[in-house]
């Protein structure tokens, strides 16, 4: 068992144990003839997927609200022009818009009185767009007063 040197903090002990664990793992790798690297290509593919998702998230932050609505609409096979017009009418494309005496939130003004537990969805552009598309596909356009104006 490894004991910490008198006067050293507990963190030093953890670092020492971690270093020894790493050295043992590395020694095991060497003695096994690097057999643990047989799945190298599979691991590389996983890393590329992770990089793609990170780049995709950064890309979303560079898009305007309208572009983000259009992007989701295209993926969902829904009329992007209608969704953009609805969001412009409901919130002027303000992601953090609050209306109806603080009962409706987001670009599509999702009403918490009728749809409790949707505030987080309402404030997320992509999620609220998907939620709205889902409601519209169920013939619930009456949920938005602006749907009569478009």
Please report the sign of the dihedral spanned by the C-alpha atoms of residue 99, residue 132, residue 92, residue 69: positive
Contact 131/137 with Cβ under 8 angstroms? no
Judgement on whether residues 99 and 74 belong to the same structural domain of the protein = yes
Quote the pLDDT of residue 21. 72
Q: What percent of the chain has pLDDT over 90?
A: 57
In this structure, the answer to whether residues 44 and 75 fall within a common structural domain is no
**4 or 20, higher pLDDT:** 20
**Residues spanned by the domain of 90:** 65-148
Are both 88 and 29 inside the same structural domain?
Answer: no
* Chosen domain end from 19, 36, 61: 61
117 lies in the same domain as 141: yes
Q: What is the mean pLDDT of residues 102-116?
A: 95
Q: What pLDDT does 20 receive?
A: 74
d(CA 47, CA 116): 38
Q: Is the dihedral of CA 81, 85, 88, 94 positive or negative?
A: negative
- C-beta separation of 4 from 17 below 8 A: no
Band the pLDDT of 62: cuts 50, 70, 90.
confident
Q: How far apart are CA 127 and CA 133, in angstroms?
A: 10
Per-residue model confidence (pLDDT) at position 141: 95
Q: Is the pLDDT of residue 54 over 80?
A: no
User: pLDDT tier at 137 (50, 70, 90 boundaries)?
Assistant: very high
- Read off the pTM: 0.61
If asked whether residues 57 and 80 sit together in one domain, one would say no
């Amino acid at each position: 068992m490894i004991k910490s040197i008198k006067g050293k903090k507990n963190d030093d002990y953890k670092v020492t144990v971690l270093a020894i664990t790493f050295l043992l793992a590395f020694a095991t790798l060497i003695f096994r003839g690097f057999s643990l690297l047989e799945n190298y290509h599979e691991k590389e593919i996983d890393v590329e997927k992770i990089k793609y998702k990170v780049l995709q998230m950064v890309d979303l932050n560079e898009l305007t609200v309208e572009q983000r609505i259009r992007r989701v609409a295209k993926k969902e096979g829904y009329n992007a022009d209608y969704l953009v017009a609805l969001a412009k009418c409901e919130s002027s494309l303000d992601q953090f818009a609050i209306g109806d005496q603080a009962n409706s939130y987001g670009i599509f003004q999702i009403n918490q009185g009728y749809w409790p537990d949707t505030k987080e969805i309402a404030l997320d552009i992509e999620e609220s767009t998907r939620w709205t598309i889902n409601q519209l596909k169920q013939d619930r356009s009456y949920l938005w007063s602006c749907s009569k104006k478009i």
